[in-house]
A = this chain, B = another copy of it.
Amino acid sequence: MKRRPTVIDVAKQAHVGASTVSRFLRGVKVRPQAAVRIAKAVESLGYHPDETARALRGGRSRTIGVLLPKVSNVFFSQSVQMMEEEARKSGCAVILLTHQDRMAQQTEHLTTLRRYRVDGVIITATPGTTSADIRAVLPEVPVVAFDNLFSPDFDSVVLRNRDAGRIATEHLIRHGYKSIACVTGKPEIYSFQERAAGYQEAMLKKGLKPNMITAANYEQLRFALAATIRSKTRPTAMLSLSDFATLTILSTFNELGLKSPSTLPLVGFDDFGFAPLVDPPLTVVRQPIESMVRYAMDTLFRRIDGESFEAAQTIMLAGELICRRSCGCL
């Protein structure tokens, strides 16, 4: 049960002062002979600097907070994977927190992030969040909004959701469908609202009547869908705003014993490995996750490193329509 070695131990063994060790470790120039002895001592003692002490002393924890609704879906799990990699390149560790779209949990997590003194935060905020909510707890910490846009006070990186919604809708219209429904759960979520707005724009521009099918949760959405499918005014095509909505649509169809390809064309959001293998192969809007994450992390680290003093900026990236069979193509 021996103590972990400290700079002092290394200093003694290398016959130098503690600050010389500190300098050496951080890449500042020291006398070559000393450098060798320090390196040797570090090795033989198995010394590793203590980040908690560094953080206390320096005010920087080399830690960034990632606060998302959840990670158990394609979009967020790929995002967090990349965030971790990008953070590592900048010498930071990721503290991962999920709020499940519950405001109370998000608030709690924000104070957690404050307590841990994270150097920066990436957040996909729950609907209704204001910049004041965040600044009350994290007054001076760089924050980048990811996949949502809840305040002009923060740098934000989002999909061109409205365009994506419009493009997907226009694609269906071009296939000749006129009665197109737009379905989503959690309609209060920013990106879904934008996608829906794009859908409505596209519909109205062609003189078609928008038809939103939404529900607070997915059980209710299932009901709403079943009702719609059975009704006589049943839509001839659907735009689904999330992978989960797509899943709900398809399984509802399945339960009713209907195959969607022949019965009802569909375009969804978010691509994933099995999308081409679903029956029918899914036409989707793919989000450029890699770019989104990279922009978000770059922006964050430029703020952290104090290289950027401009006003907050919003970066919007285009989605890509990937045509497979579910929309009626092929």
Contact = CB atoms under 8 A, between A and B. Distances in A.
A116 B250 contact: no
A112 B62 CA distance: 11
Given A50-B117, A250-B277, A277-B278, A93 B112 contact: yes
Interface stretch (A26-34, A51-59, A300-308): A51-59
Given A71-B71, A95-B93, A277-B279, A116 B56 contact: no
Interface in A122-141: 136-137, 140
Given A84-B97, A247-B277, A277-B278, A56 B48 contact: no
A325 to B, nearest CB: 11
A77 B116 CA distance: 24
A78 interface: yes
Interface string A274-304: 1011110000000000000000000000000
Contact of A278 (B56, B77, B84, B279): B279
B278 A115 contact: no
Nearest to A250: B277
Interface string A24-67: 00000000000000000000001011111101100001010000
A251 interface: yes
A80 interface: yes
Count class of interface residues, chain A: 35 or more
Nearest to A93: B95
Contacts of A112: 93
7 A-B pairs closest in CB distance: A279-B279, A77-B77, A52-B55, A72-B81, A96-B96, A51-B115, A52-B56
A186 interface: no
A86 to B, nearest CB: 12
A136 B273 CA distance: 39
A71 B61 contact: no
Nearest to A100: B85
Contacts of A250: 274, 277
B61 A56 contact: no
A193 interface: no
A46 B110 CA distance: 13
